[in-house]
Amino acid sequence: MTRANGSRLTFEDITGCWAIMPTPAVAEASDWRCHDTVDLEQTTRAVEGLIAAGVDGILTLGTLGECAALSWEEKYRFMAAVAETARGRVPVFGGTTSLNTRETIRQTREAQSLGLDGTMLGPSMWNKPDIEGVVQFYRDVAEAVPEMAICVYANPFAFKFDFPPPFWARVSEIPQIVMAKTAAYATLLADVRASGGRIRMLPLDSEYYGAARLDPDHSTAFWSSGACCGPAPALALRDLVTDAKRSGDWTAARLLAQELRDANLPIICYGDFNEFQTYNVALEKGRMNRAGWMSAGPNRPPYQCVPERIRRYAETGGDMWAQLQKKYTGTAIA
């Protein structure tokens, strides 16, 4: 939960299931002539639904949030709606990644003024960065907006940076950096050790079971885009892992983790990560629309051109998650 005294979130505050939201789009959003594409009514409905279901935090304006396809005015209105709806009941982070440090600072200050708790932030994009440049980028943002917690958006495909252990060792000295959204399960232990355990590394929902087995003390939180296909399976996983840490019986958590891996497999194009990175927006929003828990709406330009096979992958993934949502509804402890 957000700290009652209004102070900045810390590493210890990052626990449980963090849902990653799309930026819901109106019906005309695929047309470049549409300049007000955010469906604010659906935004409010989704945030309220996630909080009512029991998620522990919300991340927004990443890749599937189409951060690169939104105008600043659209991002501002969306963040305002999310903050106003959440009303401090759970921590909310808004992505403020841009092409340069100064614009990122401007957007992060605006997000803070709206009442968001933190930013999900990747390095400024264009040139391939080195460690020194990326570390300085995070230092500059932290210095400029000291009240904001930072979630490192560790996506090596999007940011042309591998986020190696020496990077984590250096940014762990920045107190505003409290968490990282990562898919690097294979390097999880090395990254945790490099950071001195001072940055909460959040794996994908289907990898949370494995992360908790490897490092039960550190692995207390995970991210889930599938939660916007229906939050029940992700919340059930959270509770089963918590129970397993107490009881030592990991059977139920392991079985649910496998179900989540199976449901996620179609939207990562059955292991073709190059294709997944090409059509990430369409795959994620497509499965959310198919699952029917919320309406993510159409893709914004330039992501509106989607091959039929990608549509099928998204629909298959959405159908599989919807089945899990039905199966696990009512099992989580909010």
For 264-289, the pLDDT digits (tens) are: 999 999 999 899 999 999 999 999 99
**pLDDT, tens digit (0-9, with 9 covering 90-100), for 242-258:** 999 999 999 999 999 99
Please name every residue paired with 59 in a beta bridge, in sequence order, or none if there are none.
20, 93
Short-list 120, 135, 7, CA closest to 57:
120
Residue 5 in any domain: the answer is no
Question: 273 in a domain, yes or no?
Answer: yes
What's the confidence (pLDDT) of residue 332?
63
DSSP letters, 246-306, are HHS--HHHHHHHHHHHHHHTGGGGGG-HHHHHHSHHHHHHHHHHHH-SS---PPPTTS---
For residue 60, being part of any structural domain is answered with yes
Q: What is the 3-state secondary structure (H, E, C) of 300-331?
A: CCCCCCCCHHHHHHHHHHHHHHHHHHHHHCCC
Supply 88's token pair: 């401090």
pLDDT of res. 210 = 95
In a domain, 271, yes or no: yes
- What percent of the chain stands above pLDDT 70? 97
Active-site choice (181, 245, 285, 326) = 181
Tell me which residue range forms the domain holding 44. 11-328
Is 3 within the bounds of a domain? Answer: no
DSSP state of 58: E
Residue 332: strand, helix, or coil: coil
Residue 182 dihedral angles phi and psi, to the nearest 5°: -135, 155
Q: How far is CA 87 from the centre of its chain?
A: 19
pLDDT confidence of residue 5: 54
Rounded to the nearest angstrom, the gap between the alpha carbon of residue 180 and the centroid of all alpha carbons in its chain is 9
**Structure tokens that stand for 314 in this block:** 């998204």
If 0-12 CB within 10 Å is exposed, 13-18 middle and 19+ buried, where does residue 103 land?
A: middle
Tell me whether residue 192 is in a domain.
yes
Query: If you ran DSSP here, which 8-state letter would residue 28 be given?
Result: T
Tens of pLDDT along 68-96? 999 999 999 999 999 999 999 999 999 99
How far is Cα 169 from Cα 156, in angstroms, rounded to an integer? 17
- pLDDT, greater one: 21 or 188: 21
**pLDDT digits 0-9 by tens, 286-320:** 999 999 999 999 999 999 999 999 999 999 999 99
Per-residue pLDDT band for 333 (boundaries 50, 70, 90) equals low
Q: What phi, psi does 262 have (nearest 5°)?
A: -60, -40
Q: Is residue 156 part of a domain?
A: yes
* Domain CATH code at residue 253: 3.20.20.70
Q: Is 196 helix (H, G, I), strand (E, B) or coil?
A: coil
- Per-residue pLDDT tens over the stretch 24-82: 999 999 999 999 999 999 999 999 999 999 999 999 999 999 999 999 999 999 999 99
Straight-line distance from the first to the last Cα atom of the chain, in angstroms, rounded to the nearest whole number: 12
Q: How large is the average pLDDT for residues 100-107?
A: 97
The answer to whether residue 2 sits within a structural domain is: no
In this predicted structure, the answer to whether residue 334 has a pLDDT above a threshold of 80 is: no
Answer yes or no: 326 catalytic.
no
Residue 3 has pLDDT above 60, yes or no: no
pLDDT tens per residue across span 158-213: 899 999 999 999 999 999 999 999 987 778 889 999 999 999 999 999 999 999 99
**How many structural domains does the chain have?**
1
Residue appearing with tokens 């992501």: 303
Q: Give residue-wise pLDDT tens across range 110-169.
A: 999 999 999 999 998 788 999 999 999 999 999 999 999 999 999 998 899 999 999 999
The model's pTM is 0.95
As a whole number, the mean pLDDT across the chain is 95
